[in-house]
Amino acid sequence: MGVVVASAVANSEEVFTPRQQQVLTAALDLLVEQGDRLTMTSVARRASCSKETLYKWFGDRDGLLTATVQWQAAKVKAPQVDRWRLDAASLRQSIEQFARDLLGTIVGDVSVTLNRLAIGHAGAEKHGLGAIVLENGPLAIRKRLKPVLEAGREARLLRFDSSEEAYRSFFGLVVRDAQIRLLLGETFTPAEAEIARDAARATEQFLAIYAVHQAA
């Protein structure tokens, strides 16, 4: 286990020195470039540091990977959608913004790489990375979206039993098969415009399901 990385999961208080962040950046770059096959030697070389330092700071290979994922995941905290009034238009806008954030993140190189890594680890009974990615990916967005959805329900703009359920359908409508296809190696990088269009479509569909019928 890592020396600096203590509790393995969700210790966002963890702080890295600038030098350490350089190392983590190097590790992340190599991860994106060559996936899980990166070697400690290559990280050391890329970061211009010694392996000894690597081991001193991160304990072992897993510690380094965990630190990298953790550190990167912590950066995802996108800005809260600030003030939204509770009319149909602004609700729709908030939701669409979330859809764009979510989709944009998920189709990114870094997201694909980190998810691949975490999935690989999960396949080896090491669920630490999976938990971190889960926590900072889908769950983070969900946590931010939930109050919006519930305010929408409060205002009788939306109808659903459980915000959990509603969120999951939202996720499905936004992500569809894009994530699994990317993870499986299909290479497509939607432009900003496509993402926006997809987000709009997903929002439309979500509202078609969960919006209260505005009976004139």
Residue 19: which of a copy of itself, DNA, none does it interact with, CB under 5 to 8 A by kind?
DNA
**124: how many CB neighbours lie within 10 A of its CB?**
9
Helix (H) or strand (E) holding 51: helix 51-58
User: Is 38 strand, coil or helix?
Assistant: coil
CA atoms within 13 A on the CB side of 44: 15
Residue type for position 199: A
Asked whether position 160 contacts DNA by CB under 7 A, the answer is no
- The residue within the footprint of a copy of itself, chosen from 66, 94, 115, 136 (CB under 8 A), is 115
| Among 17-25, 51-59, 66-74, 124-132, the segment contacting a copy of itself (CB under 8 A) | 124-132
- Smallest gap from Cβ 177 to a copy of itself, in A, equals 5
Give the largest Cα separation in the chain, rounded. 70
- 39 counts as binding DNA under rule CB under 7 A: yes
**Distance between CA atoms of 69 and 111, rounded to whole angstroms?**
10
Out of a copy of itself, DNA, none, what residue 177 binds, judged by CB under 5 to 8 A for its kind, is: a copy of itself
Among 185, 191, 193, 216, binds a copy of itself (CB under 8 A): 185
In terms of Cβ atoms closer than 10 Å to its own Cβ (0-12, 13-18, 19+), residue 37 is exposed
Question: In angstroms, how far is the first alpha carbon of the chain from the final one?
Answer: 61
The single residue among 9, 56, 172, 186 that binds DNA, judged by CB under 7 A, is 56
* Interacting residue ranges for a copy of itself, rule: CB under 8 A: 34-37, 113, 115-125, 127, 130-131, 133-134, 138, 168-169, 171-177, 179-181, 183-186, 205, 208-209
Binding stretches for DNA (CB under 7 A):
19, 37, 39-41, 44, 48-53, 55-57, 60-62
